[in-house]
Structure 1
Amino acid sequence: MSEQTLTSRDGTTIAYEVHGSGTAMIVVNTVAEDRTSAGGIAGLLAQHFTVLSYDRRGRGGSGDPQPYDPAHEIEDLAALIDVVGGRAALISGSAGGVLALDAASALGDAVTGLFLYEPPFIVDDSRPPMPADYVAHVESLVADGKRSEAVEYFMTEALQIPAEWVAGMKQDPSWDAAAALAHTYAYDGRILEGLQDGTPLPRDRWSIDAPVLVLVGANSEPFFVCAANALAEILPDVTVELLPGQDHAAFWMAPGAVVDSVVAFVGR
């Protein structure tokens, strides 16, 4: 199916496309991505499921009314779930998984399951916490037109990439694409507030009975394992699985490994 659009509850246009057949699954993007960014995993999933990919607000063909409010993103997902019959599982890599968790908690039985690849909670001292002023600083940089600086700030603070490596990354065409979506670093930063400060996850943020599969690359930083196990401690039906030989990029660069685990989990 080519690009379609719907009007979300607040009047915002949301662009999406649907492929495949079977149980419905919605791909939720992470920071600085539109729906094409996870095209590899969406395409493989569509061999097994009905897969809806969409541009989160502020990205691609979707609108971006201000001020940004994370609650509207849950309304967007509610409308998208209606498109595929009123019930769907959600799959996401990295920070997008936190939006998926929030949506599952808010929408109840409409979300049939969650498939999360390395949600980036920081729950202990296994890595430094995010700066307390992270969101405000990103918003300030974007407001001043310093989008490239906002990307650099995200890379060094959120991803802990050494500054000397970032200098080389700026020469890649993907840098300009990230800069164009730099405002979304603050959007997802708001969703993640209170979940990356080095303290245990709050037990009252989510109420989710649906099954949750959390995948972690065996070669990823240890804090991702800590994050996955922390989620398993506070939700009733969480399975944590390590993917041999994979790291944080697997959701995008090795989608087959992720999809194999998802298909196996659904078939249990």
Structure 2
Amino acid sequence: MREFKSKDNTSISYEKLGSGPGLVIVGGSLADHHMYHPLAEELSKYFKVYNYDRRNRGMSKVSKNHSVDSELEDLEMLISLDSTPKVVYGHSAGAGLAIRAAAQGMDIHKLILVDLPFSLLDENRTRSTENHEKEYQAIKELIENDDKEGAVRFFLKDFGMSKAELHGFISSDGGQAAIEISPTLLIDYNILGNGLTPRDLLKKIKVPTMILTSDHGLTTAQDAAKYLLHSSIHRLEAPTHMTAPKEIAQPIIDFMSI
């Protein structure tokens, strides 16, 4: 792993694989670079891939200065390490961070948004916003009471896992790593704002954008695409955590060739 110093002198760790145009992977909630390494390896056959541990995760240093702004500073610094046209791949909450980065005009050539975590801007928006805030407050209380495992269990309760599957995950090395970095969930909720499709931010994005989604998230993808200037949607057979890296990589390769 390599590292760079962010604007506030926090060390951020990353792996750099392959050659070609630069592609940065921005991971989602409760994940560090290990989760995306198989995809990074596949993409490194075609791109120079930067797969990093977001602030306070994995091998990146712990910092009390953790906010949406510090996360954006980290991403901007990482993007600046490469002189080629940059592509940013944002997954789940990482897609929310990538949207903010592109909206504020970072040096991004193309944008790939994956498994968007937003609720629709529809007649249920008020209830969705209230639920988002309730979830945030529940996780905040658990973390403040030092119940990190409880925070992870609460966050994952709607992810379709059975009790046995959730218990198995919690007991695994990946689950223990997720528990350790569970306080970062609070920043991810802040990155997502009120939890609704970020219409105003999407309207500011001028670069070509591809949204990768399964049928489960198709309506959310379509809602977001309405506000993007140059967008396309590619449907995957299943969510990315159930999809082989080669199948995720192919639409990215096609998108880059346009």
Shared fold by TM > 0.5? Answer: yes
Over 3 Å counting, the alpha-carbon distance change for 1:148 and 1:18 in structure 2 is: same
1:192 aligns with 2:192: yes
Q: How many angstroms does 1:29 deviate by?
A: 0.8
1:235 aligns with 2:233: no
Q: Tell me, what secondary structure is at the counterpart of 1:26?
A: strand
Whichever residue aligns with residue 179 of structure 2, its letter is A
Q: Tell me if structure 1 keeps the 8 A contact 2:55–2:66.
A: no
Query: Counterparts of 1:48 and 1:117 in 2: how far apart (Å)?
Result: 19
Q: Which of 200, 216, 220 is residue 204 of structure 1 equivalent to? A: 200
Over 3 Å counting, the alpha-carbon distance change for 1:121 and 1:7 in structure 2 is: same
| Identity percentage of aligned residues | 25
Query: Counterparts of 1:39 and 1:182 in 2: how far apart (Å)?
Result: 20
Q: Tell me, what secondary structure is at the counterpart of 1:234?
A: coil
Q: Tell me, what secondary structure is at the counterpart of 1:36?
A: helix
Q: How many angstroms does 1:172 deviate by?
A: 3.6
2:41 is aligned to 43
Instruction: List per-residue Cα deviations over 1:67-109 (Å, max 9, x = no partner).
Output: 421111111111111111174110122221110111111234x
Query: Counterparts of 1:160 and 1:192 in 2: how far apart (Å)?
Result: 21
Q: How many angstroms does 1:64 deviate by?
A: 3.1
Whichever residue aligns with residue 247 of structure 1, its letter is P
Query: Counterparts of 1:29 and 1:70 in 2: how far apart (Å)?
Result: 14
Query: Counterparts of 2:21 and 2:132 in 1: how far apart (Å)?
Result: 40
1:225 is aligned to 218
**How large is the Cα RMSD of the aligned pairs?**
2.2
Equivalent residues, number: 252
Q: Tell me if structure 1 keeps the 8 A contact 2:143–2:151.
A: yes
Over 3 Å counting, the alpha-carbon distance change for 1:104 and 1:150 in structure 2 is: same
Whichever residue aligns with residue 61 of structure 1, its letter is M
Higher percent of residues as helix: 2
Q: How many angstroms does 1:48 deviate by?
A: 0.1
Flag structure 2 segments of 5+ consecutive residues without an equivalent.
Answer: none
Q: Which of 193, 200, 210 is residue 213 of structure 1 equivalent to? A: 210
Q: Tell me if structure 2 keeps the 8 A contact 1:156–1:163.
A: no
Q: Tell me, what secondary structure is at the counterpart of 2:133?
A: coil
Query: Counterparts of 1:13 and 1:230 in 2: how far apart (Å)?
Result: 37
Q: Tell me if structure 1 keeps the 8 A contact 2:22–2:84.
A: no
Over 3 Å counting, the alpha-carbon distance change for 1:33 and 1:167 in structure 2 is: closer
Q: Which of 95, 98, 101 is residue 99 of structure 2 equivalent to? A: 101
Flag structure 1 segments of 5+ consecutive residues without an equivalent.
Answer: none
Q: Tell me if structure 2 keeps the 8 A contact 1:78–1:107.
A: no
Instruction: List per-residue Cα deviations over 1:17-60 (Å, max 9, x = no partner).
Output: 21111111001111111112100110011100111111100111
1:181 aligns with 2:178: no
Q: Tell me if structure 1 keeps the 8 A contact 2:133–2:194.
A: no
Whichever residue aligns with residue 178 of structure 1, its letter is A
Q: How many angstroms does 1:173 deviate by?
A: 3.8
Whichever residue aligns with residue 65 of structure 1, its letter is S
Whichever residue aligns with residue 17 of structure 1, its letter is E
Q: How many angstroms does 1:162 deviate by?
A: 5.7
Whichever residue aligns with residue 200 of structure 2, its letter is D
